[in-house]
Amino acid sequence: MLKNILAITGKPGLYKLVSRGTNMLIVESLVDGKRMPTYARDKIVSLAEVSMYTTGEDISLSEVLNALGKKYAFKAVELDAKKADNDALRAFFAEVLPTFDRDRVYPSDIRKLIAWYNLLIAAGFTDFTLQEDEEGAEALAAATAKADTKADKQVQPKANVKTTKSAAGSVKTGVGTKRG
């Protein structure tokens, strides 16, 4: 599910991947449901690619979100991350992920995690697995197939060779292009 959820630098909130176009993605905001294109110049990150620093191996965001969901019964976190001080945020996150690296996980990261979790819960997502959901995979496959079909149907110039015989007996060849 997290492969189709995107974070776009410079744009608030999270976005669901709807389809792919030529040099762009069509995304839908999880906040208000509006669709918009994003282009190659935008920095886009799939939540499936995000991980959190720990004292051992890094842990994927899906595991952190699942732990947070289990702790809060897949309901929104009541902690006001904007008003909480740094020590309160670290204490909160230590309850969810006791092995997080306190030197490399900043309070701003914890605030963003809480905001993302609350957005996903408000949008009705409770499955934080790394596998694509079937609807998203079907939409991507359909969009890719349409793009491939369009590329195949583009008009290619064909050579049209005309051979005529002149009155003197020599063969004349005329080469033209025919579209269609």
Is pLDDT at 157 greater than 60 in this prediction? no
Question: Does the reported pTM lie above 0.85?
Answer: no
Tokens read off for 32 = 């208000």
Nearest to 124 by CA among 14, 9, 11: 14
- CATH class as words, domain 2-133: mainly alpha
Other CB atoms within 10 A of residue 64 CB: 22
Mean pLDDT of all residues in the chain?
A: 79
* Secondary structure in 3-state letters for the chain: CHHHEEEECCCCCCEEEEEEECCEEEEEECCCCCEEEEECCCCEEEHHHCEECECCCCEEHHHHHHHHHHHCCCCCCCCCCCCCCHHHHHHHHHHHCCCECCCCCCHHHHHHHHHHHHHHHHCCCCCCCCCCCHHHHHHHHHHHHHHHHHHHHCCCCEEEEEEEECCCCCEEEEEEEECC
Give the up-direction half-sphere exposure of residue 15: CA atoms within 13 A in the CB hemisphere.
24
Q: What is the pLDDT of residues 81-122, one digit of tens each?
A: 889 999 999 999 999 999 999 999 999 999 999 999 999 999
Report domain extents, the chain. 2-133
Residue range 166-173: mean pLDDT, rounded:
51
- Round to whole Å and give the CA distance between 109 and 113: 6
